[in-house]
Amino acid sequence: MIVEERNKWENIAEYLLCQWQMEDMIRAAGFDMPLIRRTIIEGCDLTADGKEGLMRLYEDAADRMRSEGVAAKGHLRRNTETLDELTALHSRLVDSPSEEQYRSVYFQTLPFIIQLRAKSGGKSAPEIETCFTGVYGYLMLRVQQKEVGDSTVEGIRQISALLTALSVKYKEIYVESNTEKEKGKV
């Protein structure tokens, strides 16, 4: 299994953030694959085969971005579908009385989600999308070495806790249950 797929099943939130970063890196490089090879791929601590596999991932993503009409902005359909799936799971978990622990993390996070929405100019997006957008924005500020206030760091920590809890539930429901089904077929 290639690293990308393994990461998807191990931590779906981290996977999605990496996918968004890949999209942005392709755009920043102007879809110039030799530039991506020189500036991104060659700097990775991977075997030659690993670097070639990673290069193929970037090439595939770039091709899909062009064909799906998201070369300038937006996200690949597979990433949007993943976000939609996580949003639906989040709604089910929040509505489930048996998910007390998840609901507790959610209610602790809700004030920070509301603050993020207010900062976004009132953009109406699902809560989980707001969380991902907030964490991704924070990561980009860190990469740019921009100063981030303590209250923002606190909010991102709490939002990250929610996304971690969601990722754990996703893995339990979609990965471990499918593994158990596969074991039963043997």
pLDDT of residue 176: 67
| Whether the predicted model's global pTM rises above the 0.75 cut | yes
Phi/psi for 31 (5° steps) reads: 60, 20
Q: Which residues contact 128 (CB under 8 A, 6 or more apart)?
A: 83, 86, 87, 90, 163, 166
Number of neighbours of residue 114 by Cβ within 10 angstroms: 12
Cβ contact 44:58 at 8 Å: no
Q: Confidence band (pLDDT; 50, 70, 90) for 109?
A: very high
Mean pLDDT of 140-153: 91
Residue 73 is classified by DSSP as: S
- Examine the pLDDT at 98 and tell me if it is beyond 50: yes
Cβ contact 132:16 at 8 Å: yes
Where is 157: in which H helix or E strand? Answer: helix 150-170
Q: Confidence band (pLDDT; 50, 70, 90) for 6?
A: low
